Amino acid sequence: MVDTSVILSSVLGDPEAAPARVMRAMYAGVFQAYSSREVLDELYRVLFSERVARLLRGRGEVAALTYVLVNSSVTLVDPKRRVTLCRDPEDDKFLEVAYEAKADCIVTLDEDLLDVRDEETKEASIFEHKVKILKPEEFLRQLQASLEG
């Protein structure tokens, strides 16, 4: 799963930077992405916030297109178990989606999520499920290796 921080960075940042490359791969169906209604609601609030509107300088269609593309690229899950692993409880919803979907990894720029992982293995345990929590650059390296192997 790809979290809000990566999506927002892809919209506001360099189109050749890792977050934008992750999103292009997601849109192209190179990997299976998951989300939940709660995560998509957060994405909507962030993309259509006054702060992002100012940063987009009147290009609101970029936010709208991003939201539509993300919605059409993810498989929705309905998390059944609550997780309380992050120091920021708002970020636990990403772990809940990863657990429900039995996702291999979470791609994030969020330090609260990154701090949940073991630095050596890059994994976190969510109940009996292990999930990698990767920065966009780390994810792209892993994705490239899996496509080559």
Give me the pLDDT at residue 48, please: 96
CA–CA gap between residue 43 and residue 67 (Å, rounded)? 8
Exposed, middle or buried by CB within 10 Å (0-12, 13-18, 19+), for 126? buried
Q: In the prediction, which pLDDT does 53 show? A: 94
| pLDDT (0 to 100) of residue 146 | 87
Domains and CATH numbers, the chain: 4-148 (3.40.50)
Whether 149 has a pLDDT exceeding 80, the answer reads no
Backbone angles phi, psi at 124, to 5 degrees: -130, 150
pLDDT digits (tens, 9 = 90+) for 23-79: 999 999 999 999 999 999 999 999 999 999 999 998 889 999 999 999 999 999 999
Distance CA 31, CA 93 (A): 20
Query: How does pLDDT run across 102-140, given as a tens digit for each residue?
Result: 999 999 999 999 999 999 999 999 999 999 999 999 999
User: Is residue 9 over pLDDT 80?
Assistant: yes
What pLDDT does residue 109 have? 98
Q: What pLDDT sits at residue 143?
A: 94
pLDDT at 147: 84
